[in-house]
Amino acid sequence: MKKALLLSVAAAGFLALPGLAAAQEQPARPPMLFVYTDNVAPAHMAQYETAVKEAVGKVMATAEGAKLDWIAASGMGSWYLYAFPMQTMADMVTINQDWEAAVKAAGGPAIFAKSDQLVEYADAAIVAFRPDMSYIPANPSEAESAGNFRHWSFWHPLPGKAQELEAVAREFAELYRANNMGSGWRMYQRIIGSELPAYIVASTGMSPADYHSTSEAANATLGAEAEALFQKAFAITRRVETRDGMMRPDMAAGAFKK
């Protein structure tokens, strides 16, 4: 985890993004997340985790650190994700100030020297929750409620096709809603970061096998209608990439720490 958060992102165009107002109507879920990712060589993952936990432990032991909250996850591709909840763009300033104050109180940036030298590269982004393109079941399955596995699909639309892809996502949500499906997804829009525009579909499961079997069962239930929507989406998408991972409450902080 980086000794200094990369929070100096340009926010000028953010407030005018379509769909942001809809995202902010969901107070129970953070409207935005500042997402920071460390990419580590597989051979160094154990060392990295030990070093990060040691440094973060020092940070969280300070009065300043007690103000911090973040969600953590790690993936099969040897990456570590830290997501800081945000209600407004102004929270970026507060998070950065609290982080810098906590690190200083814990001993300064040098406490992250061990973990930083194990990071091959890092990246950062801001994503906005899009409830209008999400489906959260009224009667969720056990995996939906308690699953620790996550499957993320990153959809990159063709130039000029972002609005069409959003429309297809809303059609998917309506289809799932009409069939009262027990599994769903949460849609996020990457609004600051690389390869814009980009949409992230976050799905839950108890394990990789559970996620894939649930997904196959849903496709079988929804049949030709779902297949037609997938084909419509693929036709206006230049690239789809996927990531699998597990939530890591042991590497989280504040309300998300376990």
Cis-peptide, bond into residue 137, ω within 30° of zero: no
pLDDT band at residue 258 using 50, 70 and 90 as cut-offs: confident
Higher per-residue confidence, 210 vs 26: 210
Q: Give yes or no: residues 57 and 112 share one domain.
A: yes
Domains of the chain: total: 2
**Residue 151 pLDDT exceeds 60:** yes
2-27 residue pLDDT tens: 545 544 443 333 333 333 333 333 33
**Residue 217 pLDDT exceeds 60:** yes
* 4 assigned to some structural domain: no
Expressed as residue numbers, the domain containing 53 is 18-128+247-256
* 216 assigned to some structural domain: yes
User: CATH number for the domain including 208?
Assistant: 3.30.70.100
What does the pLDDT average to over 215-241? Answer: 96
Distance, in Å, from the CA atom of 240 to the CA atom of 249, rounded to the nearest integer, reads: 28
Q: Give yes or no: residues 151 and 229 share one domain.
A: yes
What pLDDT sits at residue 114? 94
What pLDDT sits at residue 26? 33
231-257 residue pLDDT tens: 999 999 999 999 999 999 999 988 888
Q: Count the alpha carbons within 13 Å of 166 in the hemisphere toward its beta carbon.
A: 15
71-109 residue pLDDT tens: 999 997 789 999 999 998 889 888 899 999 999 999 999
What does the pLDDT average to over 154-165? Answer: 97
**Residue 33 pLDDT exceeds 50:** yes
Give the pTM. Answer: 0.85
**Residue 57 pLDDT exceeds 60:** yes
* 239 assigned to some structural domain: yes
What pLDDT sits at residue 29? 66
Distance, in Å, from the CA atom of 253 to the CA atom of 116, rounded to the nearest integer, reads: 19
* 1 assigned to some structural domain: no
* 96 assigned to some structural domain: yes
Q: Give yes or no: residues 133 and 119 share one domain.
A: no
What does the pLDDT average to over 140-144? Answer: 74
Short-list 136, 127, 132, CA closest to 167: 132
Q: Give yes or no: residues 138 and 118 share one domain.
A: no
Q: Give yes or no: residues 236 and 135 share one domain.
A: yes
What does the pLDDT average to over 61-71? Answer: 91
Q: Give yes or no: residues 108 and 71 share one domain.
A: yes
Higher per-residue confidence, 59 vs 147: 59
Q: Give yes or no: residues 111 and 204 share one domain.
A: no
Least confident of 65-74, 150-159, 165-174: 65-74
CB-based burial label for 241 (10 Å; 0-12, 13-18, 19+): exposed
Q: Give yes or no: residues 165 and 104 share one domain.
A: no
Ordered alpha helix ranges (H), 107-155: 113-116, 142-146
* 6 assigned to some structural domain: no
* 218 assigned to some structural domain: yes
* 106 assigned to some structural domain: yes
* SS3 of residue 167 by DSSP: helix
Q: Average pLDDT over the chain, rounded to whole?
A: 87
